[in-house]
């Protein structure tokens, strides 16, 4: 176990209000894992990462990284931590090479070691041509790559990425995913937060779904999706969508249908197998007027909706 979060709570209290950002989160991350914290904005992901990376003090509970308590021994814990925060924190007064070089110096590398490490990273992240540039001369995607290179320069045990693809164009996002996957070969454990379910699905070995500071579910993306007991999601849009209760009851008796949710403009049906199912649904719904019918595989988003009753993007 490389990251251990135990009963973590963070309450922000000022004169006007009291906000519980993290509400009793317990979780552990294994060595070498690519772990995702998935949740909407304001779910408590960034606060959780803030506590893990010694920048936020918990109200109660604790975190240990590679066996070091981050609250009691923050300076020692930082040796094991690499961070890429949400905002760009590259040193604007230094070149790309110097950003990496001085970061190594902060972590006690000798001049020669720091130079070698910086050059290796520049090659590994395909940045050698830009080594003399200043951060402001680089595109957002490239700056993000430098931030990742810098975060792992001191060979931390765990790399924390807070919303790594926020503000990146699709191409840079895919390049960033490749860079993160490559870290795995070096044995670095990665913990990332995201509100893009594709990102969690695509990248992570395990995903923790968080909302309102609470941990709602934790498993591999595939397992999370199959816990629905369904492999197909059918969305039925109806012309008359007010009294759908009898229709839902009728459909629920079909053996392939696992569960049904009422939506403002129709029904969302979770089914196992679709053989011969669609005609039966269409026939049953005839009197309501079928406007549209769509079939998809369950995604982490449907899992999230099942857990919270809300859309991730709301």
Partner 1 sequence: MSPAKNVSYSTAFAGLLLRDLRVMRRELGPFVVRVVMQPLLFLFVFTYVFPHIGQAGAVGGTNFATVLLPGLMAVAIMFSGIAAVALPLSQEFGVTREIDDRVMCPLPVPAVAIEKICFSAIQSILAALLVLPLAYFIPATPVHAHVANWPMLIATLILASLVAGALGLTIGSNVKPQQIGLVFSIVVIPITFLGCVYYPWAVLSHVRWLQIVVLLNPIVYMSEGLRTALTPGVPHMPALMIVAALLLSLAILGRFGIKGFLRRVIS
Interacting residues toward partner 1 by CB under 8 A: 50, 53-57, 74-76, 78-79, 81, 83, 85, 87-94, 98-99, 102-103, 105-108, 150
| Cβ distance to partner 1 smaller for residue 10 or 306 | 10
Bridge partners (DSSP) of residue 285 are none
A 10 A CB-CB count for 187 gives: 10
| Cβ distance to partner 1 smaller for residue 84 or 260 | 84
| Cβ distance to partner 1 smaller for residue 108 or 140 | 108
Q: What angle do CA 310, 209, 313 make, to 5 degrees?
A: 35
Per residue in 12-28, is it b (16+ CB within 10 Å) or e — as a string?
Answer: eeeeeeeebbbbebebe
- For residue 94, CA distances in Å to 71, 134, 297 come to 31, 6, 48
Contact 267, 260 (CB under 8 A): yes
Of the candidates 45, 74, 78, which has an alpha carbon nearest to the alpha carbon of residue 62? 74
| Cβ distance to partner 1 smaller for residue 107 or 177 | 107
Q: How far is the CB of 83 from partner 1 (least distance, A)?
A: 6
Q: How far is the CB of 92 from partner 1 (least distance, A)?
A: 6
Q: How far is the CB of 252 from partner 1 (least distance, A)?
A: 48
| Cβ distance to partner 1 smaller for residue 105 or 291 | 105
| Cβ distance to partner 1 smaller for residue 100 or 271 | 100
Of the candidates 197, 8, 184, 2, which has an alpha carbon nearest to the alpha carbon of residue 81? 2
Q: How far is the CB of 97 from partner 1 (least distance, A)?
A: 11
Q: How far is the CB of 84 from partner 1 (least distance, A)?
A: 10
Q: How far is the CB of 248 from partner 1 (least distance, A)?
A: 47
């Amino acid at each position: 176990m490389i990251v251990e979060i135990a009963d973590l709570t963070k309450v922000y209290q000022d004169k006007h209000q009291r906000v519980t950002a993290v509400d009793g989160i317990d979780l552990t991350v294994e060595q070498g894992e690519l772990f995702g914290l998935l949740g909407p904005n304001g779910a408590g992901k960034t606060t959780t990462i803030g506590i893990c990376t010694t920048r936020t003090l918990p109200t109660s509970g604790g975190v240990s990284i590679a066996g070091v308590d981050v609250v009691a021994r923050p300076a020692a814990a930082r040796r094991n931590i690499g961070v890429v925060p949400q905002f760009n924190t590259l040193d604007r007064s230094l070149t790309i090479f110097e950003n990496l070089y001085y970061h190594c110096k902060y972590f006690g590398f000798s001049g020669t070691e720091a130079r070698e490490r910086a050059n290796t990273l520049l090659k590994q992240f395909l940045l050698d041509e830009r080594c003399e540039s200043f951060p402001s001369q680089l595109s957002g995607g490239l700056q993000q790559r430098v931030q990742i290179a810098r975060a792992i320069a001191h060979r931390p045990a765990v790399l924390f990425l807070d919303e790594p693809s926020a503000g990146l164009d699709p191409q840079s996002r895919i390049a960033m995913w490749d860079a993160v996957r490559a870290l795995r070969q070096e044995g670095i454990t990665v913990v990332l937060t995201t509100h893009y379910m594709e990102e969690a699905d695509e990248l992570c070995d395990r995903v923790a779904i968080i909302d309102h500071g609470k941990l709602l579910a934790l498993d591999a993306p595939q397992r999370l999706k199959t816990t629905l007991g369904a492999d197909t999601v059918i969305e039925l849009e109806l012309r008359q969508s007010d009294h759908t209760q009898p229709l839902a009851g009728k459909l629920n008796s079909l053996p392939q249908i696992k569960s049904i949710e009422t939506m403002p403009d129709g029904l969302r049906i979770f089914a196992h197998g679709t053989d011969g199912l669609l005609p039966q649904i269409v026939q049953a719904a005839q009197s309501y007027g079928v406007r549209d019918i769509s079939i998809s595989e369950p995604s982490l988003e449907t899992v999230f909706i099942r857990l919270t009753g809300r859309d991730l993007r709301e």
